[in-house]
Each structure stands twice: as structure tokens, then as C-alpha cells.
């Protein structure tokens, strides 16, 4: 009863913030993302006669809140499958994460864990390869993991309960092919802290309403293949997300000086040089630069001149089993 799965993290395009159900990780509004092909999480899980559940990520044993969140996925799989054994889990990210924030590895972690556990317990034979169900399972570790499961351009329907809160693929790179230039940056604030803080903003209700409307607009733009409209809308959503976070009671700042340098670079390249590029940020300081394949090489050169080492990626697919 052992399996290995691989999943790609995602770049959130219309980002969710806050949770109306923290136990099931159900958000206030829908969200949309795209998977990052260049990055991945590989997770092996084995059910057996072990003394206790052990989860190791990048060589370190999980404890505390991180362990509890991962265990929610495993416990739900146990309930579905009837398998009662303890587990050994080993998970590795394609780059060292450390204090990197806003890259999306919690999404690939949840997706890879859900898919590996589903396969190891034989649920794929019993229930079929059900991406909707898998997205619901992965959501228990991290909300964004449900989108990571289904791959490419995905929409997470907020819903109101466990069954209605799931993700599905809404488009592929054939609809809109982009290049992502990612600049990983560091922060000590956790995503959960940021979610809790956002709900305290006086502008949170307005954010929920605008983000829900934006999902419908962005889905149409992606399917039409309009890159410029896509870039502008995702950039606007990023600014709105961070504005809500920094207007909570603690005045939490998820951006730093490095973030602002990258944002300034993007705006200069677009305005003064006509480069098709737009910035995007999640709940952290790391910056995605969404651009075209034609302009990606130049964008990378400019980012390197600022002293950063970017990661270039295309669009990634759904989570999959390799053993």
C-alpha cells in the first residue's frame, strides 16, 4: 500500500483570502489559478503497521499545525477507504522552500499527498480517477491545493459545504499560452496569519464581491486568449489582495523592498520598452512576471541585472502518479 505522486504548485490569478470554514478550508469566493510547470512536489506515502504517523518534508519531520493540516488529508482517505494503518510520508519540493513565501508549494504539497494516498489505498479502483473528489481531499491541507490537483487553468468554486467546494479545469495552454518568470522571495509570516488578518479589513466585504465578479471576467478572457486583458486583470487582483491584507488591524505587509523593485521593473519594461509583461503576487513577497514566450528571455535578463535568480516556467498539468 504505497504510491508516489507529483504535483505542480500554482500561481493564483484571482486569489482567495480568508476562510468562512477553517476546518474544511472553504473560502468566501471563487478563485482561479494556473499551474507552474517548472516546479513540483514529489510525495511518497506508505500505509502499514507503523507505530505512528510520520510526515517528512524536505528532510524535516512535520510537527504542530503543519502536521495537523497534512493529517486531515490522510484521515479523510482512511475514512473513505477503510484503511486503518499508520503512514510514512516523504515529500520533497523541487527547490528548497525555507522561508520562501508566495510561490505556492502548499498547493502542490496538498495535491501530491491527496493523489498518492488515493492511489495507495486503492480508491482509484473503487471510485475511479475522480478529479473532483481529489480536489476536495487536497483542499483539506491547503485551499489552493484543490486547483493544483486539476492542473493548467483551474477554477475553485467556493461552495458552501464539503461537496460543493471543489476545483475543475476551465482552460488549457491551447487557450492562452503564457510564460511565467518567478522571483522567489522570503518572509516569516504564514499564509494562515494573512488569511485571518484580511478578514479584519474594513474593505474585506468589497474584496469578496469584486473577486467573485473578477473570476467570471477572467475565465472569459482566458478562453478568448487575450493576454493583455489577462495580465492587467491579474495585476489588479494582486494589488487588491495586498491592500486588504495591509488594512487589517495589524497593518500586515506581505511585500518587501525586493518585491517593489521587481514591480517597478515590470512597469518600466511595459511602459518604456513595450514589453508584454505584468506582475502577480500571492500571499507573500514573491513575484510572478506573466509574459509571452517571445519576451520571456528579455524579462529574465532584466531581472538578473537587478541581482535576482528567476525561475522560468510554462503551464503545468494535473497531479499524477509515478509509482
Residue-wise pLDDT for 198-243, tens only, equals 899 999 999 999 999 999 999 999 999 999 999 999 999 999 999 9
Q: In angstroms, how far is the first alpha carbon of the chain from the final one? A: 11
Q: Please tell me the predicted confidence (pLDDT) of residue 202.
A: 95
The CATH code belonging to domain 179-313 is: 3.30.70.890
For the chain, strand residue ranges (E) read 2-7, 10-14, 19-21, 26-27, 31-35, 41-48, 54-57, 60-61, 86-93, 153-157, 166-171, 179-183, 277-281, 287-291, 311-313, 320-321
Q: Reduce the DSSP state of residue 246 to 3 states and report it.
A: helix
DSSP 6: E
Q: Please tell me the predicted confidence (pLDDT) of residue 150.
A: 98
- Report whether 159 contacts 165 (CB < 8 A): yes
How far apart, in whole angstroms, are the C-alpha atoms of residue 250 and residue 253? Answer: 9
What distance separates the 2 farthest-apart alpha carbons in the chain?
63
Among 30-34, 54-58, 60-64, 97-101, name the one with the lowest average pLDDT: 97-101
| Closest among 62, 52, 28, 290 to 157, alpha carbons compared | 28
Q: Please tell me the predicted confidence (pLDDT) of residue 152.
A: 98
Q: What phi, psi does 102 have (nearest 5°)?
A: 90, 15
Q: Please tell me the predicted confidence (pLDDT) of residue 190.
A: 79
Q: Please tell me the predicted confidence (pLDDT) of residue 105.
A: 86
pTM: 0.94
Position 98 pLDDT exceeds 90: no
Position 188 pLDDT exceeds 90: no
| Mean pLDDT value across the chain | 94
Position 187 pLDDT exceeds 90: no
Band of pLDDT at residue 100, cut at 50, 70 and 90:
low
> Which residue has better confidence, 129 or 188?
129
Position 30 pLDDT exceeds 60: yes
Q: Please tell me the predicted confidence (pLDDT) of residue 99.
A: 56
Burial of 256 (0-12, 13-18, 19+ CB in 10 A): middle
Q: Please tell me the predicted confidence (pLDDT) of residue 102.
A: 58
Cα distances (Å, whole numbers) of residue 271 to 47, 54, 266, 300 = 55, 51, 9, 17
Instruction: Judge: domain 2-172, CATH 3.30.230.10.
Output: yes
Q: Which three cell numbers stand for residue 240?
A: 487588491
Q: Where are the domains of the chain?
A: 2-172, 179-313
Band of pLDDT at residue 107, cut at 50, 70 and 90:
very high
Could you report the per-residue pLDDT of 261-303, keeping only the tens digit for each?
Answer: 999 999 999 999 999 999 999 988 999 999 999 999 999 999 9
> Which residue has better confidence, 198 or 320?
320
Position 110 pLDDT exceeds 70: yes
- Report whether 108 contacts 42 (CB < 8 A): no
Amino acid at each position: 500500500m504505497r504510491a508516489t505522486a507529483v504535483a505542480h504548485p500554482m500561481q493564483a490569478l484571482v486569489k482567495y483570502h480568508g476562510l468562512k470554514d477553517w476546518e474544511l478550508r472553504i473560502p468566501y469566493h471563487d478563485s482561479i489559478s494556473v499551474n507552474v510547470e517548472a516546479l513540483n512536489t514529489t510525495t511518497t506515502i506508505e500505509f502499514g503497521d507503523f507505530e505512528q504517523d510520520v510526515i517528512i518534508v524536505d528532510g524535516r519531520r512535520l510537527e504542530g499545525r503543519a502536521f495537523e493540516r497534512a493529517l486531515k488529508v490522510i484521515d479523510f482517505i482512511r475514512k473513505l477507504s477503510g484503511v486503518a494503518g499508520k503512514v510514512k510520508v516523504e515529500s520533497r519540493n523541487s527547490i528548497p522552500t525555507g522561508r520562501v513565501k508566495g510561490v505556492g508549494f502548499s498547493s502542490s504539497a496538498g495535491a501530491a499527498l491527496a493523489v498518492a494516498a488515493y492511489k495507495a489505498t486503492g480508491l482509484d479502483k473503487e471510485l475511479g480517477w475522480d478529479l473532483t473528489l481529489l480536489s476536495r481531499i487536497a483542499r483539506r491541507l491547503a485551499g489552493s491545493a484543490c486547483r493544483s490537483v486539476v492542473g493548467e487553468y483551474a477554477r475553485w468554486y467556493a461552495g458552501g459545504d464539503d461537496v460543493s467546494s471543489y476545483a475543475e479545469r476551465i482552460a488549457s495552454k491551447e487557450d492562452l499560452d503564457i510564460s511565467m518568470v518567478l522571483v522567489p522571495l522570503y518572509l516569516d509570516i504564514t499564509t494562515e496569519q494573512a488569511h485571518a488578518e484580511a478578514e479584519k479589513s474594513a474593505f474585506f466585504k468589497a474584496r469578496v464581491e469584486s473577486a467573485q465578479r473578477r473570476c467570471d471576467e477572467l475565465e472569459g478572457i482566458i478562453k478568448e486568449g487575450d493576454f493583455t486583458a489577462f495580465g492587467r486583470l491579474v495585476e489588479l487582483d494582486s494589488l487588491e489582495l495586498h491592500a486588504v491584507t495591509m488594512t487589517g488591524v495589524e497593518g500586515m505587509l506581505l511585500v518587501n523592498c525586493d518585491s517593489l523593485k521587481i514591480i517597478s521593473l515590470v512597469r518600466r519594461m511595459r511602459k518604456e520598452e513595450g514589453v508584454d509583461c505584468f506582475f502577480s503576487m500571492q500571499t507573500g513577497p514573491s513575484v510572478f512576471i506573466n509574459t509571452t514566450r517571445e519576451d520571456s528571455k528579455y524579462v529574465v535578463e532584466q531581472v538578473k541585472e537587478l541581482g535576482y535568480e528567476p525561475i522560468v516556467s510554462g503551464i503545468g498539468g494535473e497531479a499524477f502518479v509515478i509509482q
